[in-house]
Amino acid sequence: MLNVSDLSVKYGYVQALDHISFKVGAHEIVSLIGANGAGKTTTLMAISGMVAKESGSVVFDGEDISQEKPHLIAARSLSHIPEGRRVFAKLSVEDNIISGVLIDKKVSKTELKNRIEEMYSLFPRLKERRTQDAGTLSGGEQQMLAIARGLISKPKLVMLDEPSLGLAPIVVEEIFELIERINQAGTTVLLIEQNAGLALQIADYAYVLELGKIALEGKGAELLQNPEVKRAYLGV
C-alpha cells in the first residue's frame, strides 16, 4: 500500500530524516514510535507533500507520489489526521465532517448524506453534538471529530499523528479501540504515537525512529518484548 524509500528531509542545517525506508502493507496497522524530535511527524508531512524532501521516494498504491502537491495526494485516498486535532473551531461538528470530502466533486448529495450517517454510526457522540461548534467539544470529542473528518473521504490509508496526545487514559483506550475497528473494516493505518505500549499492542508491524533514523523494526508483539524498547520507551 505504501513504500517509503531512502527518504531524507532537512530543516536548514538540521537533518530531520536520514535516508529512512519502510513499508505499510494493505489492511495492516503499522506504528512509528520514538521520542520527541525523532522525526515521526516529519515523516507523515513528507508523505503528504507538506514538507520538501531532500531525497527519496514515496509510492502509494502503486503510484509514485513523491513530487505531488498535498491536495492531489489527499485526493488519492490517503488521509492525514494531524497532531493536535486542528478542527475548525467555529464550524459545527457536521460542517467539520463534511469538510473532509469537499475535495471530491464526484460525491453526490445522497452519497454525502450516507457517508455522514456512517460517521455518526461510528462516532455516536458526534451525532448528539452535530450542531455544536467544534471548539466547544472536549479534547477526546475533537479527536473523534478529526478522525471522522479524515474517514469520510473513504481513504485506503489513514495516517494518524499522536491521536492520544493530551487525552485522559479512559479516552485514549476508546480512541485506540476505534483505530482497531477502522482497520478491521478494511482501512490501512499508519500510526505515529508516543504511547509506545499501546501503539505496539495494536500494530502488525512497527518501526522505532531515533534522531531521524530507523533504529529497530519488527512485529509489534516482538518489539513489546524487546529489552531495548522496554527500557527506552516502556519504562521497564
pLDDT at 236 over 70: no
pLDDT tens, 72-87?
Answer: 888 888 999 988 778 8
CA distance 224 to 236: 11
CA distance 152 to 188: 15
Predicted pLDDT of residue 176: 92
Say what percent of the chain tops pLDDT 90.
63
Average pLDDT over residues 206-219: 93
CA distances from 73 to 3, 80, 118, 193 (A): 14, 10, 24, 22
Predicted pLDDT of residue 235: 66
Domain range summary for the chain, segments of one domain joined by +: 1-77+157-162+190-236
pLDDT tens, 191-209?
Answer: 998 888 899 999 999 999 9
- Contacts from 6-13 at CB under 8 Å and sequence distance 24+? 6/55, 6/56, 6/57, 7/43, 7/46, 7/53, 7/55, 7/56, 7/57, 7/58, 8/53, 8/54, 8/55, 8/56, 9/39, 9/42, 9/46, 9/51, 9/52, 9/53, 9/54, 10/54
Class of domain 1-77+157-162+190-236: alpha beta
Please tell me which residue, 167 or 93, carries the higher pLDDT value.
Answer: 93
Residue 19 pLDDT level (bands cut at 50, 70, 90) = very high
